[in-house]
Amino acid sequence: MTEPVATVLRPRLTHQGALILLQAAIRKADEMLLPQCIAIVDEGANLLAFVRMDGAKLLSEQPTMRKAMTAASDRVPTGDKDAALGDKLASASDGRIVNLKGGLPVIVDGHVIGGIGVGSGTGEQDRIIANAALAAFPGATTFDYV
């Protein structure tokens, strides 16, 4: 029998890294004239950085944070689940697992190091802005939302 592996070395998202994502998302949102709530969480789905831009929807704060959390947990973009499954998981997680578009995992070297959530626009707009943030992050995997 092999020895149990008690710890592993993994990349961790820093607050400076989170601010890179935040600033890049703000730039893209400004460019698209779409004020947004933007949330960055780490691998543990804990909040690292947040901004609510002037004109963004106030009550998008929580859904935006949960998009980031869900993306970090699921390791895939949010909002593509079957509707019935999405509803069940939302209920079973007290609303924390969301099935709204606009959350993307932050993946570097194949490791999920966090998530970004964007909210206030349509799901498609939110995804484009989140993806533009990933494109500004050194080594991060991007998606097909442009």
Site residues for a copy of itself per CB under 8 A:
4-20, 26, 42-54, 57-63, 66-67, 69-70, 72-75, 83-100, 108, 113, 137-139
* Minimum distance, C-beta of residue 145 to a copy of itself, in the bound complex (Å): 18
Residue 49 or residue 129: which is nearer to a copy of itself going by CB?
49
* Minimum distance, C-beta of residue 21 to a copy of itself, in the bound complex (Å): 9
Burial of 78 (0-12, 13-18, 19+ CB in 10 A): buried
Two structure tokens written together for 141: 């995997």
Burial of 7 (0-12, 13-18, 19+ CB in 10 A): exposed
* Minimum distance, C-beta of residue 15 to a copy of itself, in the bound complex (Å): 5
Residue 36 or residue 128: which is nearer to a copy of itself going by CB?
36
Calculate the alpha carbon distances from 25 to 18, 34, 75 in Å. Answer: 11, 11, 20
Residue 70 or residue 131: which is nearer to a copy of itself going by CB?
70
